């Protein structure tokens, strides 16, 4: 799939993917980093904001605490009557705007031995100072938290927030200070002095905390009871733990536990009412252990960075698109000429060398390639032109050679039987040149009515020079027989003529024989030629008697005197041998193209094989002997090209029939 895609596609994909990855990497790093910065800033701001509010509350609480503490120390040390006590308590409530009310609650019978409960209480009800005696049967203060807890703990304590039914009748929190009287050595618990604060003020302070659009603060007590919250139904009705249970939020429960333990922290937090993701900072109010928490809506703080991120993403995508276009442009500048070149090359391949190649516009690699292609086209054109010319001249030479071949062949006698009226012998010959023109030749003619001359030759070398030399030799041979019928003398003369002015140092092997058709006497001379084969007829084989073990049938190489190749040495004299042919005998003459025919293993056809073949063909007609031998040579060489001319001639002597 990928392999077959274009360069432009691969480039765009590879570059865009890597650049995109880099972008994502940078982007996410940037996002995390800036988010951390914002988170850190929010945390710092949160800490300052919450701490300032806590300080504001704490200041009030501290001043509230002093009031009952002072009263308690007065009660512990001073002596007083009821009137003084009530005046003092009233003055305290009047003069201290921070407190809503104050009470002095005595232990049973501690104020008056005749009175079970005595607890004067002043509070600011609707701006007016009101007096209540809490010591009634419907308000058993001895069992209320604000009394019981500091009593049992023997120390001052802030109460949980509560609706004081029958007392102040508002949502309040009470600071209770136990007071004692020294009876002898022992310290005796006398009662509790209290100062109430109206939690309405707390609620105002906390609900005035606004962070951006939706951030808010809330306050919880030591039990986790929600004292202030934008969600009204939570106030004094739920603890943070109840909310956690309702939402099955163990994380919230854990946070709540940390808050009531007096810890501070900055934590991720899901807003209880809106379920929004927020950060929350919480810190305790030192005096009473309540905890103030402020929620910082994450999305609002992150709004800027989110907007920035959106812009960055859009820019990134735009950049990536631009990059893709640029890459596509570059890729096109590469692939377009390449494609054009591919088209042109295909065209060139079909043989059209005149195709316009795209011009090399630039000096880059593509330009170089274009140049190279143009050069190649030019060279190819020139080469083909040369080739055309060469081929033309070669064709001319070949046609000339063809003509030369025809001429050469025409000088050889080719009509068989050549002398149909002569019944004394049969003759057949064939020549198979290795090239268009060859150096082999044969000839036969009657010198006179009785003497029949036949000859065969093989010029050294091949081709045109050999063929010319062969023509000369053949002409000379025939010319010399006009005056002489002795083969040796003919050869000697021809040798002399050829040797003179033999600049090319060429020579020819030749066998020449003259047959007396009447007597069967055969005179012959050999100029370095392969000895012919003598095929005896069965009837007159001399080899029958004698019992020679090497007897191979009625075929034997003709015994020839040694003779030098013709044309090598000017004064060389050849010898004539003679033999008498009996009717039925045949002479097989050939050139070395026969014995030296090669097969694919480099083996030669050899004289041995020729002899065997000839035995096989014994008794056949002259044409059949030659055709059979040729067939055998062909099947032996088995397609290996013929390297030398093949010439064969058979003369079968029949004698004169009566």
Partner 1 sequence: MIRILLVLFFLLSVGVFPLDAAETPLKKASFIPQWSPQSQFAGYYVAYEKGFYKKRGIDLTILQGGSDRPSSQFLTTGKTDFATMWLSTALRLAANGQEIINIAQVTQRSALMLVSKTSSNIKTPQDINGKKVSLWGEDFQIQPKAFFKKYNLDVKIIPQSFSINLFLRGGVDVASAMWYNEYHTIINSGLNPEDLTTFLFYEHGLNFPEDGIYTLKKTFKKDPALAYAFVKSSIEGWLYAFSHPEEALNIVLKYISQAKIPANRVHQKWMLNRMKDLISPPGGGSIGMLQPRDYERVDYELKESGLVKRTPSYYSFFVRCDKDVEK
Q: Which residues bind partner 1 (CB under 8 A)?
A: 142-145, 148-149, 151-153, 157, 159-160, 222-225, 236-243, 245-246, 253, 256-257, 260
Nearest to partner 1 of 145, 570 (CB atom): 145
Distance of CA 524 to the CA centre of its chain: 84
> DSSP per residue over 230-244, as a string?
SSGGGTTT-BHHHHH
Residue 143 CB, shortest distance to partner 1, in Å, is 4
DSSP 203: H
Closest to partner 1 by CB, 151 or 611: 151
**Degrees (nearest 5) of the Cα angle 273, 259, 162?**
75
Give, as one character, the DSSP assignment of residue 418: S
Tell how far CA 520 is from the center of its chain: 90
Minimal distance in Å, beta carbon 261 to partner 1?
A: 8
C-beta of 225 vs 595, nearer to partner 1? 225
The whole-angstrom separation of Cα 201 and Cα 345 is 94
Q: Which is nearer to partner 1, 189 or 241 (CB)?
A: 241
* Minimum CB–partner distance for residue 242 and partner 1 (Å): 5
Residue 188 CB, shortest distance to partner 1, in Å, is: 18
CA distance linking residue 104 with residue 194, whole number of Å: 6
Q: How many helices (H) and strands (E) does the chain have?
A: 14, 23
CA–CA distance from 202 to each of 96, 115, 229, 595 (Å)?
17, 37, 11, 134
With respect to partner 1, which residue has the nearer C-beta, 237 or 336? 237
Closest to partner 1 by CB, 259 vs 453, is: 259
| Closer residue to partner 1, CB minimum distance, 248 or 549 | 248
Residue whose CB is less far from partner 1, 142 or 190: 142
Query: Quick check: helix, strand or coil at residue 348?
Result: helix
Q: Smallest distance from the beta carbon of 25 to partner 1, in angstroms?
A: 44
C-alpha 295/C-alpha 50 separation (Å) is: 10
Q: Which helix (H) or strand (E) element contains residue 587?
A: strand 586-590
Q: Tell me the closest approach of the beta carbon of residue 153 to partner 1, in angstroms.
A: 5
φ, ψ (nearest 5 deg) of residue 571: -100, 20
Least spacing, CB of residue 121 vs partner 1, in Å: 18
Smallest gap from Cβ 29 to partner 1, in A, equals: 40
SS3 state of residue 326:
helix
CB proximity list for 269: less than 8 A, separation 6 or greater: 252, 255, 278, 279, 280, 295
Q: Residue 172 in 3-state DSSP?
A: strand
- What span, in angstroms and rounded, lies between the C-alpha atoms of 138 and 117? 12
Q: How far is the CB of 138 from partner 1 (least distance, A)?
A: 9
Closest distance to partner 1 from the beta carbon of 257 (Å): 5
Q: Is the four-CA dihedral 249, 250, 253, 255 of positive or negative sign?
A: negative
User: Rounded to whole angstroms, how far apart are CA atoms 549 and 426?
Assistant: 32
189, 180 contact by CB (below 8 A): yes
**Which one, 254 or 608, has the nearer CB to partner 1?**
254
User: Which of residues 107 and 424 has its CB atom nearest to partner 1 in the complex?
Assistant: 107
CA torsion, points 385, 391, 395, 397, in degrees to nearest 10?
100
Nearer to partner 1 by C-beta: 257 or 634?
A: 257
What is the rounded CA–CA span in Å between residue 147 and residue 137?
16
Rank residues 226 and 466 by Cβ distance to partner 1 and give the closer one: 226
Distance CA 428, CA 589 (A): 10
Least separation in angstroms between residue 157's CB and partner 1 is: 7
CA angle, corner 52, sides to 51 and 56, nearest 5? 115
The distance of closest approach from Cβ of residue 118 to partner 1 in the complex, given in angstroms and rounded to an integer, is 19
């Amino acid at each position: 799939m990928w392999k077959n895609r274009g360069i432009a596609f691969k480039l765009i994909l590879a570059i865009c993917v890597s650049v995109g990855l880099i972008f994502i990497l940078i982007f996410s790093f940037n996002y995390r980093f800036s988010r951390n910065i914002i988170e850190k800033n929010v945390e710092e701001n949160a800490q300052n904001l919450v701490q300032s509010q806590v300080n504001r509350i704490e200041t009030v609480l501290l001043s509230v605490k002093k009031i009952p503490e002072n009263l308690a120390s007065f009660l512990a040390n001073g002596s007083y009557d009821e009137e003084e006590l009530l005046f003092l308590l009233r003055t305290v409530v009047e003069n201290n705007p921070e407190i809503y009310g104050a009470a002095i609650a005595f232990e049973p019978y501690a104020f008056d031995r005749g009175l079970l409960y005595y607890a004067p209480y002043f509070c600011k009800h609707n701006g007016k100072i009101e007096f209540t005696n809490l010591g009634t049967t419907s308000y058993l203060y001895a069992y209320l938290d604000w009394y019981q807890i500091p009593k049992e703990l023997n120390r001052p304590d802030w109460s949980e927030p509560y609706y004081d039914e029958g007392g102040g009748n508002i949502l309040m929190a009470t600071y209770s200070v136990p007071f004692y009287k020294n009876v002898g050595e022992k310290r005796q618990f006398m009662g509790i002095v209290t100062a109430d604060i109206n939690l309405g003020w707390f609620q105002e302070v906390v609900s005035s905390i606004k962070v951006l659009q939706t951030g808010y603060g809330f306050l919880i007590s030591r039990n986790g009871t929600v004292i202030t919250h934008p969600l009204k139904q939570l106030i004094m009705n739920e603890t943070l733990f109840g909310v956690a249970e309702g939402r099955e939020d163990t994380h919230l429960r854990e946070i709540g536990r940390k808050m009531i333990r007096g810890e501070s922290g900055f934590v991720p937090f899901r807003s209880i009412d809106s379920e929004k993701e927020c950060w929350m900072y919480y810190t305790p109010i030192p005096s009473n252990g309540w905890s103030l928490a402020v929620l910082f809506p994450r999305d609002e703080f992150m709004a800027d960075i989110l907007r920035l991120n959106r812009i960055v993403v859009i820019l990134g995508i735009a950049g990536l698109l631009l990059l893709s276009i640029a890459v596509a442009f570059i890729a096109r500048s590469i692939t377009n000429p390449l494609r054009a070149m591919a088209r042109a090359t295909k065209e060139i391949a079909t043989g059209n060398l005149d195709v316009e190649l795209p011009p090399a516009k630039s000096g880059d690699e593509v330009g170089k390639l274009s140049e190279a292609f143009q050069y190649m086209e030019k060279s190819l054109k020139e080469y083909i032109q040369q080739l055309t010319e060469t081929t033309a001249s070669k064709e001319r030479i070949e046609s000339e050679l063809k003509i030369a071949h025809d001429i050469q062949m025409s000088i050889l006698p080719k009509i068989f039987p050549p002398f149909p009226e002569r019944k004394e012998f049969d003759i057949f010959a064939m020549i198979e040149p290795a090239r268009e023109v060859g150096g082999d030749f044969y000839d036969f003619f009657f010198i006179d009515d009785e003497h029949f001359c036949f000859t065969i030759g093989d010029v050294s070398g091949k081709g045109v020079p050999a063929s010319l030399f062969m023509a000369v030799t053949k002409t000379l041979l025939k010319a010399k027989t006009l005056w002489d019928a002795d083969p040796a003398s003919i050869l000697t003369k021809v040798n002399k003529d050829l040797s003179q002015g033999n600049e090319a140092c060429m020579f020819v092997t030749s066998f020449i024989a003259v047959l007396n058709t009447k007597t069967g006497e055969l005179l012959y001379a050999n100029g370095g030629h392969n000895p012919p084969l003598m095929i005896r007829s069965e009837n007159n084989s001399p080899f029958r008697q004698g019992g020679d073990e090497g007897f191979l049938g009625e075929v034997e190489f003709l015994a020839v005197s040694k003779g030098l190749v013709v044309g090598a040495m000017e004064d060389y004299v050849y010898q004539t041998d003679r033999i008498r042919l009996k009717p039925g005998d045949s002479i097989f003459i050939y050139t070395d193209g026969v014995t030296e025919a090669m097969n694919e293993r480099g083996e030669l056809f050899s004289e041995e094989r020729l002899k065997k073949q000839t035995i096989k063909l014994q008794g056949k007609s002259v044409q059949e002997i030659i055709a059979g031998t040729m067939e055998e040579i062909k099947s032996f060489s088995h397609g290996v090209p013929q390297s030398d001319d093949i010439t064969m001639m058979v003369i079968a002597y029949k004698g004169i029939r009566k």
